[in-house]
Amino acid sequence: MRNIWSSLRHSLDGSPPFMLLLHLSVLLGITLYFADVLMPVFLALAAAYLLERPVSWLQRLPMRRVDAVALTMLALIALMWWLIATLFPLVWQQAQAFWQALPELTAIGQQYLDQLGSAQPGWLSERQLALLLQRLEGQSLNFLNTLLTSSLTGVAGVFYLLVYLVLLPMMMFFLLKDKTALLTGLQRQFPASSAILTPVWRQLDHQLLGYIQGKLLELVLLACCCYLLFSLFALPYALLLALLVGLSVFIPYLGIAVVTVPVVLVTIGQWGLSSTSSWILFCYLLLQVLDAYLLVPWLFGRVVDINPFYIMLAILVFGGLFGFWGVVLAIPLASLLKVLLRTFAPESG
């Protein structure tokens, strides 16, 4: 097998685009086949990529790279433990309470939809309404049940707990500390692709880093604003709902539609069709409009220069191919395709 791979590399050595495409295809195949096993590696790579910037800033003080990496990792671990000790128990309690209350909230929503259907006959049949609510309740219960029952039990659970608590930080540390040596080794293994991959990566790095940093900032701002809004009106499960709204920014277009359903159910279940519910939903929609038309263009206008039509097309294609993670990674994958097309277009022409 190794001889076949070596001969194939040498036969295509004069065609860097083909070598790059071959390497990307092999990497994609390995990623899909071993996705569950390699998930800690993917998380370590993503975290090391994001932490490279603060490490570089510390090196300019000046500071040795190993000291900069150690200081950055200590700060990250302290932040994660603080979040686990303070926010995670509250979110977990609210998630359990919401899961238990979801059937009652769904029943209340069904009552109001029945009233709407009676007021507008022919708009929605009873059978269609029953199927819609049944699917909504079933999907929500399955998701929350999987989330709440995925506790780490048994030998396998202890193993994965050790992997994420011990091996993951260690992998991040060595990825950052030995970055130069690791990249040099990869360039020696793939000399044909590295020559053309360097300019591709420079373009993608700018877009990808800006996209991730912008999404993290959007998550924090939107989640904080929603938490303040929900807390102001004493909405139940305020922290859980605000966190879900913040996380929804990583799922373009579809995320906001999904998280709006529990927000509406909880609001109507608490206050019914009252003026309080109207004000909450109005302010919530106003936040979403400000996010979509002011914050997002400001954060991503110069970074993700992709037409919204192609973003939605990427969501459909990658979501159909790779499921949930394909939807989450639709914009980064679309950015990669755009950079590759821009790089190879002069040669193809």
pLDDT recorded at residue 222: 92
Residue spans per domain, the chain: 193-349
pLDDT in tens, 101-118: 877 877 777 776 666 656
pLDDT in tens, 308-343: 777 778 777 877 777 766 777 777 777 777 777 776
Residues of the chain with pLDDT under 50: 1, 4-5, 7-14, 147-148, 150-155, 347-349
pLDDT recorded at residue 348: 43
pLDDT recorded at residue 131: 64
- Write down the mean pLDDT value for the chain: 75
pLDDT recorded at residue 165: 75
What pTM value is reported for the model?
Answer: 0.71
Q: How far apart are CA 141 and CA 160, in angstroms?
A: 25
DSSP string of 296-349?
Answer: HHHHHTTT----HHHHHHHHHHHHHHHTHHHHHTHHHHHHHHHHHHHHHHHHH-
Query: Which tokens go with 211?
Result: 């996209």
* Residues ≥6 apart with Cβ < 8 Å to 22: 8, 12
pLDDT recorded at residue 136: 59
DSSP string of 180-204?
Answer: HHHHHHHHHH-HHHHHHHHHHHHHH
Phi, psi of 62, rounded to the nearest 5 degrees: -95, 160
pLDDT recorded at residue 209: 76
